[in-house]
Structure 1
Amino acid sequence: MTTLTTPQTAERGLSFSRAVSIVAKREIMVRLRSKAFIISTIIFLAAVLASAVIGTQAGSLFQSTTTVAATADAAGAVSALEGYEVTEVGTEDEVRDLILDGTVEAGVVGSGTEGFTVIGERSAPEGLIQALSITPQVELLDPHAPNPFLTYFIGLGFGLVFFMSAMTYGNTIAQSVVEEKQTRIVEILLATIPARALLAGKVIGNSLLAFAQIALVALMVIGAGAATGSSLLLDGLGIPLLWFVALFTVGFVMIAALYAATASLVSRVEDLASATSPIMMLVMIPYVLVIVFNNNPTALAVMSYVPFSAPVAVPMRVFLGTTTVWESLLALGVLVVATVIALRVAALIYDRSLLRTGKRVKVAEVLRSGT
């Protein structure tokens, strides 16, 4: 619950900017003094860091090594393959003996000119057979195309960070608004500061906390890339991360304002979930669609111009290389315009419904009323 206890609020001549800064500071201090907020933030950042490190090391963590015995002519060919530990012996009989006594899993004899023979006890490793077989020439049309599996998890990561941050801070703002209405503290607040200053302070305070969290996420991902030497995190995700931070900064302000305005329509905490569910769906549906269509250029292109999905769709397009700078800037411009419109509508709703108590107020009724 947000309260103003500073002496400055008692002054009738309190400027709008001063009122906004007081409310914003109070919102920030209340969150920073909350053990639940601190613990949840630490857990969230730890999960992001662990995901970044594990993601870069996944190949080495789960890569198995096959032990192979080989004669001198075959040892060089097997040693050139990844994932095989080679023991060089002198004769084919020694290769067979090592397989039978369990020292190695397979054996290779022969030469590159005469052909190789893969030896196993009950079966031979399919990967080794394929690696030593004669394979046709391969032509890759796009050798640098992103791995679909990796693309899915990057889309999931962007979407999850945006979704969790929007939901966490959005619900925090909504809870604060309803508690102030339910305890009638809002009536005291509005006697000293305008409703729009109260709204702006709440949005700015919580937005700054959300921005700081996202900036920490970006720094941790880049730091994990530097520590592990991952070209994916340093090069592949560097520019997409910057676009994500920029779009998140604008998009979150829009979502925060809508949560505050929606919460002002109800007077009881029990009614908050149903009131804010439309906003939650506006955030959740694009999040799911971006993950489902993470490798579909057309779908991502459309979603990059939808305000609620742009913060995830645009970075994904940048990562996939399916967009240009001007398209990304246009998507950011669309989001900025949508945010300005949302702020105006949210301020109108918040101003006209904050002192209304009792049953839930309908949006249409608020917009039609002049007070």
Structure 2
Amino acid sequence: MSRRRAIWLVARREILERGRSRAFALSLLFSVGLIVAGIVLPSLIGSGPGTQHLGIAGTPPASLAGSLSATAEQAGLLIVVDPVADVATGEAGLRSGDLGALLVFPPDGNVPTYEVKTRGNALLQQVVAASFTPQPQIAFRELEPSDPNRDTSFLFANVGVILLFISIFTFGTWVLTGVVEEKQSRVVEVVLSTIEARDLLIGKVLGIGLLGLVQLALMIAVGLGTGVASGRFSPPSTTVSTVAMLVVWFSLGYAFYSTALGVLGALASRMEEASNASSPVTFIAMSGYFFSLLVALNDPAGTAARIATFIPPVSSMVVPLRAALGAIEAWEIVGSAVVMCAAIGALFVVGGRVYSGAVLQTGARMKLRDAWRASGRG
């Protein structure tokens, strides 16, 4: 039997057995349900816009205060009017966050101007406009013009990293538990009578990884569909490239972590031992996850994020995040992918040998050095 056929047979078995399992169905339903709930529930149970501070510069019409209060009440909004000495003082309040908006009435009676720091609170603007009788033409001014796609891109980057981490670690753990289960039940002894240990590991990683891709694609599709249908967000122009990056870097990140977890699973004879053995990989994955959300997300073009782009355990989450925010160069993406592929290749070579030397051993948990030597003797 050729290596390619052997690998595919193992992958196919993993797809059929795990794809039909209750665990996969529950994982899929839970993940999709969590995404839908996360998008829909905030709009259903949210407490509303709350109190908004509106600065007034100049002399407003006498009827504005009463009509503003009535219109705001109908919209479920509480507006506190804060008169300011002049436009400069009001704009300082906008920049500091003390004011949500500033309404400027020029002394010559010309068109009033509605000013905000950045575009965002459309409800407040609508309430203010509807409070005038008759409604005049109100000029709009944004102190710090914003990219209309920025907030959505930030959301995509944030959610994308979370999905990647959950998917990579969920299906990587499946490889770990699958190796230990087969070792405990002695199924692996039967399988290895017909194929090589390295091919078994590759096939297992491939099969479970394809299931992971299916689940990730479904989660992305449901998330986008629910978000658009509910009006929570409009997909930015970078949606297609962001989704493509998530798929590519899930594949690379999963291949890296699942291979490492599969090798560590082969060193253990019991599930408890496997959990302890996988602690270093778990720590590295968690570190990469928190680094992405706490450091790279806040400064995607910073030195730390650029360096992490070329560190394989972390790059699988940093690169798609930076790409979603438009803060990465094409050469960085290519260079990071090359480094990651090289790391995966090296891990397959070294890990494959350790896996071969450990997967048939029973009893006490093996050390990496002993597994390496056992493979060499074999």
Flag whether TM exceeds 0.5 (same fold): yes
1:23 has 2:20 as partner: no
Deviations 1:219-249 (A, max 9, x none): 2233234424566534354422321211111
Match of 2:298 in 1: 295
Cα drift, residue 289 of structure 1: 1.0
Equivalent-residue separation in structure 1 for 2:41 and 2:333 (angstroms): 30
CA contact (8 A) 1:155 1:290 kept: no
CA contact (8 A) 1:171 1:259 kept: yes
CA shift in 2, pair 1:305/1:137, >3 Å: same
Cα drift, residue 201 of structure 1: 1.5
Cα drift, residue 17 of structure 1: 2.3
CA contact (8 A) 1:181 1:354 kept: yes
The residue identity in structure 1 corresponding to 2:160 is F
Match of 1:96 in 2: none
CA contact (8 A) 1:301 1:317 kept: no
Equivalent-residue separation in structure 2 for 1:324 and 1:54 (angstroms): 36
The residue identity in structure 2 corresponding to 1:318 is A
* SS of alignment partner, residue 71 of structure 2: strand
CA shift in 2, pair 1:59/1:330, >3 Å: farther
1:131 has 2:102 as partner: yes
Q: Which runs of 5+ in 2 are unaligned?
A: 55-59, 82-97, 106-113, 118-141
Aligned counterparts, 1:292-371, within 5 A: 292-293=294-295, 294-296=297-299, 297-298=301-302, 299-369=304-374, 370-371=376-377
Match of 1:209 in 2: 211
Of the structure 1 ranges 335-344 and 224-233, higher mean CA displacement relative to structure 2 is found in: 224-233
* SS of alignment partner, residue 193 of structure 1: coil
The residue identity in structure 1 corresponding to 2:252 is V
CA shift in 2, pair 1:317/1:154, >3 Å: same
* SS of alignment partner, residue 308 of structure 1: helix
Match of 2:127 in 1: none
The residue identity in structure 2 corresponding to 1:196 is R
Equivalent-residue separation in structure 1 for 2:215 and 2:165 (angstroms): 13
CA contact (8 A) 1:52 1:224 kept: yes
Equivalent-residue separation in structure 2 for 1:106 and 1:193 (angstroms): 73
Q: Which runs of 5+ in 1 are unaligned?
A: 1-13, 88-103, 109-125
Deviations 1:236-270 (A, max 9, x none): 54422321211111221121111111111111222
CA contact (8 A) 1:225 1:234 kept: no
Match of 2:164 in 1: 162
CA contact (8 A) 1:221 1:233 kept: no
CA contact (8 A) 1:155 1:312 kept: no
Aligned counterparts, 1:75-224, within 5 A: 85=71, 131-132=102-103, 143-144=146-147, 151=154, 154-224=156-226
CA contact (8 A) 1:148 1:295 kept: no
Equivalent-residue separation in structure 2 for 1:340 and 1:282 (angstroms): 19
CA shift in 2, pair 1:179/1:232, >3 Å: same
Cα drift, residue 208 of structure 1: 0.2
* SS of alignment partner, residue 132 of structure 1: strand
CA contact (8 A) 1:75 1:86 kept: no
CA shift in 2, pair 1:28/1:142, >3 Å: same
Equivalent-residue separation in structure 1 for 2:70 and 2:357 (angstroms): 72
Match of 2:284 in 1: 282
Equivalent-residue separation in structure 2 for 1:230 and 1:105 (angstroms): 23
Deviations 1:280-333 (A, max 9, x none): 112111101111112123222222212122222112212322212222222222
The residue identity in structure 2 corresponding to 1:62 is G
CA contact (8 A) 1:146 1:320 kept: no
The residue identity in structure 1 corresponding to 2:333 is S
CA contact (8 A) 1:222 1:238 kept: no
CA shift in 2, pair 1:330/1:225, >3 Å: farther
CA contact (8 A) 1:286 1:308 kept: yes
Cα drift, residue 44 of structure 1: 0.6
Deviations 1:145-180 (A, max 9, x none): 9878984x5554223212222222122211111122
The residue identity in structure 2 corresponding to 1:22 is L
Equivalent-residue separation in structure 2 for 1:338 and 1:360 (angstroms): 26
Equivalent-residue separation in structure 2 for 1:150 and 1:176 (angstroms): 37
CA contact (8 A) 1:155 1:291 kept: no
1:33 has 2:20 as partner: yes
Pick from 257, 268, 271 the counterpart of residue 270 of structure 2.
268
Q: Larger Cα Rg: Structure 1 or Structure 2?
A: 1
Match of 2:89 in 1: none
Percent identical among aligned pairs is 29
CA contact (8 A) 1:27 1:205 kept: yes
CA shift in 2, pair 1:227/1:74, >3 Å: farther
Cα drift, residue 203 of structure 1: 0.7
Cα drift, residue 217 of structure 1: 2.1
Deviations 1:105-157 (A, max 9, x none): 7799xxxxxxxxxxxxxxxxx868x6336799978566339878984x55542
The residue identity in structure 2 corresponding to 1:45 is V
